[in-house]
């Protein structure tokens, strides 16, 4: 037998190298994808944790500090000098409103929908404090800055009441009982002095932002340089704000406000609503060109679009004039194509802020079971991509629109009345939705005052 010598292996082949690189590349890519996912999960966990902490703090403040006490809003020239008109004097913003800015409140909206329930409002002292914009109900010299104001951004109502053609997008009253500054006229029988202003400013900062957001430094603002003996510097770190002015700096990351109404318009001690927690909320007022109202002002971070709540082509046989019960989580959002697409994401929040400011118009327009003045929050569970809007049956189509459909996580508390035809359905009246990307969570709460 002839024994052949065993040939020694000289190395690995190119094919084996390529396979190894492929396996290693897949592993590295898989690991790399975990980092952004982990950052998203970490941010969401932080939002939930900080939100839960802040809402408990907010609930305690609302109760222990008696922030919603009726006497702090009604006939109080120190804390709330804005709720008064020339003819009829003071009014309570929780149950009364003016039919238009600068008009007298006695002919305005008192309540719509369930008898005895007050008006929905946005209790938002932090916005008033930061922007310094307070309403002037007598001179109407400042921007009113109502919450969820879509006036001029929504098309005219297709079924107007008498000569009223505007949509019900006037926005809720954005109220405050912390008088930081006020430069109005005779409506302020007594203005706050410097001590009261300073006290109110501090109370706003302590109440409506997350306590961890407060960054303090030495009031002197002068520090020794550890790397250079005998020298000084104004700030020990580039990420710590300069305190040479003697004022603490807030990063304003997490903050809150309250939307809700009096449970009983005759009893101002119980309020039902939601504590709304925001992350990195913008504070400001922008001058914009509104598609149906010329140049106007708009609150930063609050976009209002047309909404059809419960949009479907199938009518409800039991609830005449409304869509099928199967669509009680479906919302159609549409906006003029001249505007940028709104920032709506899965998990974000939208609000039904349909609000008719005039009581006679509201009584005639909203004759069904749903109130004409409301603020209902919904979380987006699913959405479609924005697409060109084909319009509604019978719509003149004078303006080009875009649309998207969102599915919310809870049943709708109010539906839009619809007109049904063989070509589909269209809204009988124009209703509105608020898109506020800074909102990270909404917590229902009942607040009791003393």
pLDDT tens for the chain, residues 1 to 450: 566 665 655 667 888 888 888 888 888 887 777 767 776 666 677 767 777 888 888 999 998 889 999 888 988 877 888 888 888 888 899 988 988 888 888 866 666 545 678 899 999 999 988 888 888 888 788 889 999 999 888 998 888 887 778 889 999 999 998 875 544 443 443 455 566 666 677 778 888 988 665 555 555 555 555 555 556 555 555 445 555 555 545 557 889 999 999 988 777 889 999 999 998 899 888 888 888 877 788 899 999 999 999 999 999 888 888 999 999 999 999 999 989 999 999 999 999 999 998 888 888 888 878 988 999 999 999 999 999 999 888 676 667 999 999 999 999 999 999 999 888 899 999 999 999 999 999 999 999 987
For β-strands 330-336 and 121-123, DSSP reports them as unpaired
d(CA 403, CA 344): 12
Question: What number of other Cβ atoms are within 10 A of residue 269's Cβ?
Answer: 14
For β-strands 89-90 and 439-448, DSSP reports them as unpaired
Task: List C-alpha distances in Å: 315 to 187, 404, 417.
Answer: 50, 21, 10
Is the distance from CB of 258 to CB of 123 less than 8 angstroms? yes
Tokens representing 66 are: 């008696």
Is the distance from CB of 137 to CB of 98 less than 8 angstroms? yes
Integer Rg of the chain from CA: 28
Is the distance from CB of 172 to CB of 353 less than 8 angstroms? yes
Q: In which element (H, E) is residue 433 found?
A: strand 431-435
pLDDT at res. 232: 59
CA angle 128, 130, 136 (to 5 degrees): 30
CA dihedral (148, 151, 154, 159) positive or negative:
positive
List the chain domain ranges: 46-192+251-448
Instruction: Give the position of tokens 């875009």.
Output: 402
Task: List C-alpha distances in Å: 353 to 168, 241, 259, 302, 402.
Answer: 9, 38, 11, 11, 20
d(CA 404, CA 423): 19
Question: What number of other Cβ atoms are within 10 A of residue 380's Cβ?
Answer: 18
């Amino acid at each position: 037998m002839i024994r052949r010598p065993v040939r020694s292996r000289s190395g690995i082949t190119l094919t084996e190298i390529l396979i190894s690189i492929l396996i290693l590349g897949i592993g590295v890519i898989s690991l790399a994808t975990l980092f952004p996912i982990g950052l998203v999960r970490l941010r969401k966990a932080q939002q939930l944790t900080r939100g839960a902490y802040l809402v408990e703090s907010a609930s305690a403040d609302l109760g222990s500090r008696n922030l919603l006490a009726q006497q702090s809003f009604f006939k109080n020239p120190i804390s709330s000098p804005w709720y008064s008109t020339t003819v009829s004097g003071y009014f309570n913003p929780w149950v009364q409103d003016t039919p238009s800015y600068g008009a007298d409140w006695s002919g305005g909206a008192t309540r719509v929908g369930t008898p005895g329930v007050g008006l929905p409002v946005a209790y938002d002292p932090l916005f008033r404090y930061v922007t310094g914009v307070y309403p002037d109900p007598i001179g109407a010299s400042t921007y009113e800055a109502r919450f969820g104001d879509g006036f001029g951004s929504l098309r005219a109502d297709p079924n107007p009441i008498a000569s009223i053609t505007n949509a019900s997008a006037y926005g809720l009253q954005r109220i405050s009982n912390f008088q930081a500054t006020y430069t109005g006229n005779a409506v302020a029988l007594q203005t706050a002095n410097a001590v009261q202003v300073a006290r109110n400013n501090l109370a706003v900062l302590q109440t409506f932002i997350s306590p961890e957001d407060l960054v303090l430094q030495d009031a002197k603002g002068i520090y020794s340089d550890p790397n250079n003996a005998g020298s000084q510097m104004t700030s020990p770190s580039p990420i710590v704000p300069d305190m040479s002015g003697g004022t603490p700096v807030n990063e304003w990351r997490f903050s809150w406000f309250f939307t809700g109404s009096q449970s009983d318009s005759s009893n101002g001690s119980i309020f039902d609503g939601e504590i709304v927690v925001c992350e990195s909320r913008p504070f400001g007022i922008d001058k914009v060109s509104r598609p149906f109202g010329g140049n106007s002002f708009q609150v930063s971070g609050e976009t209002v679009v047309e909404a059809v709540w419960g949009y479907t082509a199938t009518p409800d046989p039991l609830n005449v004039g409304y869509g099928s019960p199967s669509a009680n989580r479906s919302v159609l959002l549409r906006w003029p194509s001249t505007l940028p697409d709104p920032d709506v994401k899965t998990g974000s929040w939208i609000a039904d802020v349909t609000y008719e400011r005039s009581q006679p118009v509201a009584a005639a327009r909203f004759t069904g079971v749903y109130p004409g003045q409301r603020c209902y929050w919904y979380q987006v569970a699913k959405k479609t991509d924005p697409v060109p809007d084909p319009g509604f049956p019978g719509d003149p189509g004078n303006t080009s629109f875009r649309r998207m459909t969102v599915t919310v996580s809870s049943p709708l508390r109010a539906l839009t009345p619809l007109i049904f035809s063989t070509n589909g359905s269209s809204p009988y009246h124009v209703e509105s939705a608020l898109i506020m990307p800074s909102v990270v969570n909404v917590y229902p709460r009942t607040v009791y005052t003393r």
